[in-house]
Amino acid sequence: MGFTEKQEALVKESWELMKQNIPELSLRFFTLILEIAPAAKKMFSFLKESDQIPQNNPKLKAHAVKVFKMTCESGIQLREKGEVVVADTTFKYLGSVHLHKGVIDPHFEVVKEALLRTVEEAVGEKWSEEMCGAWCEAYDQLANAIKAEMKEET
Ligand code: HEM
């Protein structure tokens, strides 16, 4: 499904704002993930051993940024090419990593909810139905591509 120029602009605009506040937003994103699904804690190497969500943990920040940034890039690719393409890695690799970490399909809904709420809080008054729709579409396409590879491998 196509992505409009307007949708691309909305995703890019919010990502530009989010970039300025990565440490706080990463923490917020994981707090939301664990609020929605406390059981997700045991999957992440950096959450397993501690009672609290670690502040300034590079791995936590890395996963949060990957999800934010790859969703944004997925929106750009959807507009330019009509399909999701990943830079630096392959869907096969991403499918494999998630499968082996024990991620299952419903987890993607949890991360989606946390992502949308993180973007909403990050952009404040700029948040709109349309911006929500654009992130939602970009994320779904990206998540579907990862999920498809996870199924291939099983
Ligand atoms: C690792 C992206 C959704 C759990 C990773 C990595 C990337 C990534 C790029 C690093 C791979 C590596 O180089 O080692 C994404 C994207 C997602 C997504 C783009 C959504 C579209 C999820 C979901 C879960 C999850 C839904 C489960 C709640 C993990 C875990 C790791 C990982 C546990 C290993 C991290 C660690 O312990 O260090 N993900 N991910 N991811 N992902 Fe995701």
Global pTM reads: 0.94
Report all structural domains of the chain as residue ranges with CATH numbers, in order of start. Answer: 5-153 (1.10.490.10)
CB atoms within 10 A of CB 72: 25
Provide the token pair at 137.
């579409």
Residues with CB under 6 A from ligand 1: 40, 43-45, 59, 63, 66-67, 70, 94, 97-98, 101, 103, 107-108, 111, 139, 142-143, 146
Ligand 1 atom with the smallest distance to the CA of 89 is 9
Instruction: Divide the 154 residues of the chain into consecutive groups of 10 and give the mean pLDDT of each group.
Output: 89 94 92 92 85 85 93 93 84 94 93 97 96 96 95 85
Measured in angstroms, how far is the CA atom of residue 63 from the centroid of ligand 1? Answer: 6
Provide the token pair at 11.
């995703």
Interface predicted TM-score (ipTM) over 0.95: yes
Measured in angstroms, how far is the CA atom of residue 132 from the centroid of ligand 1? Answer: 22
- How far the first Cα of the chain sits from its last, in Å, is 27
